[in-house]
Amino acid sequence: MGDRNQEQTQSKNFFTPVLKWFGDYPIAFAVIGLCVIMSIMSSSFLSFNNIMNVLRQISMIAILAAGQFLVLVAGGIDISLGSTVGLAGIVFSMGMVNWGMPPIVAALLAVLIGGVCGFFNGFQDAIVGIPPMIASLGTQSVARGLTYVLTNAYPISGLPESISFLGRGYLFSIPWPVIIMLAVFLIIGFVSQKTKFGRFVYASGGNSEAAYLSGIKVKKVKITTYIIAGCLASLSGIILVSRLASGQPNAGLGWEFEAVIAVILGGVSLAGGKGKIFGVLLGAILVGLLTNGMTLLNVNSYYQQIVKGLVLVFAVGLDIYQTRKRNKA
Amino acid sequence: MSEHVLLELSGISKSFPGVKALNDISFCVERGHIHALVGENGAGKSTLIKILDGIYKPDAGTMMLAGKPLSPRTPLEAQEQGISVVHQEIKLVETLSVAENIFLGRPKTSHNLIDWKKLNREAQVLLDSLEANLSPTTIVRNLSIAQKQMVEICKAMSSNVELLIMDEPSATLTTKEQEVLFRTMRTLKAKGVTIIYISHRLEEIFNLADEVTVLRDGCLVDTMPIDNIDRKRLISMMVGRELENEYPKEHIAIGEVLLEVKDVCRGRMVKNISFKLHRGEILGIAGLVGSGRTETARAIFGADKREKGTVLIKGKELKKQTVTESIQNKIALVPEDRRSQGLILNMSVKENISLVGIDHILKKKIINRGLEKTMALDFVNKLRIQTPDEEREVKNLSGGNQQKVVLSKWLAVDSDVIIFDEPTRGIDVGAKAEIYRLLVALAKAGKGIIMISSELPELLGMADRIIVMHEGRISGEVLSDDATQEKILEMAISR
């Protein structure tokens, strides 16, 4: 009996951190599971090139999701991000092609536009008090409309070759989009966990009234998260333009949806105040693997849309169920 | 079971994580009587009501109503079995008429359409039977609180009620309105309705009730006829010991003026409030619920903008009227509702404690885990916060320990003026005594304390001076040595 106890304690010591890690990120099971299934189905799945390929495919959605993560933790939600991707991409393309700007200036202008979209969302949510879903729905329409007005719905082509590295280039055989994505996640992770602002984001989303009465400028914090999300959406749009070598007015259509799935699957609560950026990365990878897997299985893209919708409803349902259980306890 | 008994509870227990809310409660309520249920906040009264109303399910025990087993799973089932509850907060649909509210969810219909004539006629009958001078077609929004409450009672009476439960219905009424309420209760009693009546006001209980049941810390103390007990004994049953021992008040030398509030106004709830608070002083603020105490505290703290008036701390005027400015000037607010206003529930003890004083744990603008842990442990030890470790989420702590976490957050920035809004609400008796000791220790350390409380014994026991509020104004001020509960109540209700 005594020996057995000792054994248990030992094995507990060894497994506890691992179990705790999986407890924090239950989605890791799903990611590993999918990886196993896909490596069985396709021998090339686990090759370096394919892994990089999958990561590059998810990078732009993942960058959106990183911004959405901050917004959600602060208690908001931004469903205009896909339109922001499109608008920023068009501003970036037209800046270079039509308005004769150097690429870096056009990129900065695009990021600025994204920030303005974010501010517009944040202003509606934090200052006016419009429910964030509706506020960003409005922004979504405005930004997409602007994109069509600017382009007459025609794509912008003739981009300088100097920007192509962003979407198609490699650094030490790692695709640039993947490097940018990892950098974004490291920075957002650092900001959310190690800085005063990050702590205030969690506090504002966890309980805005208590945060306000503790001297936190909740409105400012919330607006800032929207601005960051808008800027990141622009970054995503810039990468996309460079990847496609043209500015597409339809770019980013529906991406906000995939970003929300990634964030919720990653364990971020819709109720705010909870979640970690690493979970979001796993969520984005899971969404990417799902798409990749269904494509490999020759699932028609219309059906893929149905599957993704169901995954979102399931993930949100699970989140709400868990919140309710927690509140009951 | 005797046929005089309408409701019989035996062995009712209910636990929530960390709290045994009800422990083996057994008593009977006699048919046609007004049965008072008393006890301090946190004694388990509302839990018991929620069990009777089908909101909570008891962990153990059985209930019998008129000889039949009672186990409602929803308020609707409770109603079907003959139990109606008039809650403390009014829950009416403001935009609908009196009659519509009375028959909400069970409208009078003919051929599947609403029969307005019948609806209004039956509502009128009910209103008349309670001698309520109201028209069924009036929109509820236009009624006074007392009239709304009358509608609540009619609504409760509109189904076949055997047992009417009233949860502190008099708390927000004026004296005159209370008289109307009591007359209604007597009318109901004359009609044979049994009433369980919850109130903090002992006078009412002695005037109205036939029996009284005392709860304390989730346990039944006793049930007895009201004639067999006097006021002093009832209080000591509620509190569990003689009052003298409960408050560790010490006489502390009062220092210079710390905070001066001059003619502060905001809306209907804060009108021309002026007072001074000194170092080492505990200033009590009494008043009924809705008398503007919390609003006053928020206006002083800068959580809400003042329309008029000034607040000076150590002679310096607070001009910006923001929470940040108050914090910089060492004013703190420990709010009324810990869970919704004081704490970030899914954050850890550590993160809650460091929230206001977060600048103290930054090193080169980065949160330093070591400093944060040291800060948290310092307060966990000093205030004896009972938690397995500082990483535990605060929502898992008991009420008293949660309150200590909120206080720690403010002590971490060395606040001079601390406003406590209902500091012991929902905290069990043992933890209350600890909070009182902390208040005294803070006063001794030269801080100025404002203590808002609905529990008069607590104010009388702890405060040096008590300001009484009524409808947004200061209606009186007394030194607590000269004050009695009656005197304060008089000022809180009068005019």
Q: Are strands B83-86 and B257-266 parallel, antiparallel or unpaired?
A: unpaired
Q: To which H or E segment does residue A168 belong?
A: helix A164-168
Tokens of B71: 């186990």
Contact with chain A for residue B323, Cβ under 8 A: yes
- Range name among A153-167, A191-205, B175-189 with the lowest pLDDT average: B175-189
Q: What is the pTM of this model?
A: 0.77
Contacts of B344 in chain A (CB under 8 A): 202-203, 206-207, 210-211, 273
Tokens of A176: 């640039």
| pLDDT of A9 higher than 80 | no
The beta-carbon contacts of B242-248 under 8 Å, at least 24 apart in sequence, are B243/B457, B243/B461, B246/B433, B246/B436, B246/B457, B246/B461, B247/B436, B247/B458, B247/B461, B247/B462, B248/B433, B248/B436, B248/B437, B248/B440
B335 to chain A: closest CA residue? A213
**What whole-number distance in Å separates Cα of residue A136 and Cα of residue A115?**
13
Residue tagged 């496609």 (tokens) = A244
Contact with chain B for residue A210, Cβ under 8 A: yes
Question: ipTM of this predicted complex?
Answer: 0.82
Cβ pair B278, B255 in contact under 8 A: yes
Between these two residues, B131 and B68, which has the higher pLDDT value?
B68
Q: Which residues contact residue B250 at a Cβ distance below 8 angstroms, ignoring those fewer than 6 apart? A: B440, B444
- The A residues from 261 to 300 touching B (CB cutoff 8 Å) are 273-274
Q: What pLDDT is attached to residue B228?
A: 86
DSSP code at position B317: E
A273, B346: Cβ pair inside 8 Å?
yes
Q: What pLDDT is attached to residue B171?
A: 64
| pLDDT of B412 higher than 50 | yes
Tokens of B140: 């509820």
User: Given 3-state DSSP classes, what are the helix, strand and coil percentages for chain A, each rounded to the nearest 5?
Assistant: 80, 0, 20
* Percent of all residues in chain A with a pLDDT value above 70, rounded to a whole number: 92
**What whole-number distance in Å separates Cα of residue A215 and Cα of residue B333?**
11
- Range name among A245-249, A301-305, B48-52 with the lowest pLDDT average: A301-305
Tokens of A20: 């705790």
B107-153 residue pLDDT tens: 777 777 888 888 888 888 888 877 777 888 888 888 877 788 888 88
DSSP code at position B348: B
Nearest to B365 among A195, A215, A273 (CB): A195
User: What backbone phi and psi angles, to 5 degrees, belong to B376?
Assistant: -65, -45
A273, B409: Cβ pair inside 8 Å?
no
pLDDT-derived band at B340 (thresholds 50, 70, 90) equals confident
B341 to chain A: closest CA residue? A210
Q: HSE on the CB side for A145, CA within 13 Å? A: 7
Q: What pLDDT is attached to residue B218?
A: 84
| pLDDT of B460 higher than 70 | yes
Residue of B322, B325, B347 for testing the chain A interface, max A β-carbons within 10 Å: B347
Average pLDDT of chain B, as a whole number:
85
Alpha-carbon Rg of chain B, whole angstroms? Answer: 25
Handedness of CA A286, A287, A292, A296 (dihedral sign): positive
| pLDDT of A2 higher than 70 | no
Q: Which of A235, A319, A326 is nearest to A27 (CA)?
A: A319
B340, A210: Cβ pair inside 8 Å?
yes
| pLDDT of A8 higher than 80 | no
Residue contacts between A and B (CB atoms, under 8 Å): 65
pLDDT-derived band at A4 (thresholds 50, 70, 90) equals very low
Contacts of A206 in chain B (CB under 8 A): 344-347
Cβ pair A308, A257 in contact under 8 A: yes
Q: What pLDDT is attached to residue B141?
A: 85
DSSP code at position B389: -
Pick the most confident of A18-22, A230-234, B164-168, B479-483: A230-234
Residue of A214, A216, A220, A324 for testing the chain B interface, max B β-carbons within 10 Å: A214
- Burial (CB < 10 A; 0-12, 13-18, 19+), residue B276, is middle
Q: To which H or E segment does residue B472 belong?
A: none
Give alpha helix (H) positions in B14-108: 45-52, 75-80, 98-102
**What whole-number distance in Å separates Cα of residue B214 and Cα of residue B229?**
12
Contacts of A329 in chain B (CB under 8 A): 17
Contact with chain A for residue B343, Cβ under 8 A: yes
**What whole-number distance in Å separates Cα of residue B384 and Cα of residue B207?**
43
Handedness of CA A300, A306, A309, A311 (dihedral sign): negative
| pLDDT of A73 higher than 90 | yes
Q: Which residues contact residue A311 at a Cβ distance below 8 angstroms, ignoring those fewer than 6 apart? A: A261, A265, A287, A290
> Which three-class secondary structure state does DSSP give residue B86?
strand
Contacts of B294 in chain A (CB under 8 A): none
B323 to chain A: closest CA residue? A215
Average pLDDT of chain A, as a whole number:
86
| pLDDT of B330 higher than 60 | yes
- Look up residue A284 and give its amino acid: A
Distance from CA of A55 to the nearest CA of B (A): 30
DSSP code at position B140: G
DSSP code at position B42: T
Contacts of B327 in chain A (CB under 8 A): 215
**What whole-number distance in Å separates Cα of residue B341 and Cα of residue B388?**
24
A202, B344: Cβ pair inside 8 Å?
yes
Q: What pLDDT is attached to residue A13?
A: 62
Cβ pair B471, B56 in contact under 8 A: no
Q: What pLDDT is attached to residue A14?
A: 63
Q: What pLDDT is attached to residue A72?
A: 95
* Percent of all residues in chain B with a pLDDT value above 90, rounded to a whole number: 22
Q: What pLDDT is attached to residue A5?
A: 42
Q: Which DSSP string corresponds to B144-174?
A: -HHHHHHHHHHHHHTS--SEEEEESTTTT--
Contact with chain B for residue A201, Cβ under 8 A: no
Q: What pLDDT is attached to residue A196?
A: 93
Cβ pair B296, B309 in contact under 8 A: no
Q: Which of B94, B41, B100, B454 is nearest to B284 (CA)?
A: B454
- Burial (CB < 10 A; 0-12, 13-18, 19+), residue B77, is middle
**What whole-number distance in Å separates Cα of residue A81 and Cα of residue A87?**
10
**What whole-number distance in Å separates Cα of residue B448 and Cα of residue B258?**
7
A194 to chain B: closest CA residue? B367
| pLDDT of A65 higher than 70 | yes
Q: If you average pLDDT over residues A213-242, what whole number do you get?
A: 95
Alpha-carbon Rg of chain A, whole angstroms? Answer: 21
B323, A210: Cβ pair inside 8 Å?
no
| pLDDT of B430 higher than 60 | yes
B238-283 residue pLDDT tens: 776 654 556 877 888 888 999 999 999 998 889 899 999 999 999 9
What count of other Cβ atoms lies within 10 Å of the Cβ of residue B155? Answer: 21
| pLDDT of B18 higher than 70 | no
A308-321 residue pLDDT tens: 888 888 877 877 77
B366, A195: Cβ pair inside 8 Å?
yes
Q: If you average pLDDT over residues B197-214, what whole number do you get?
A: 84
B362-392 residue pLDDT tens: 988 899 899 999 999 999 988 888 888 888 8
Between these two residues, B433 and B413, which has the higher pLDDT value?
B413
Residue tagged 């005159």 (tokens) = B176
CA diameter of chain A? 80
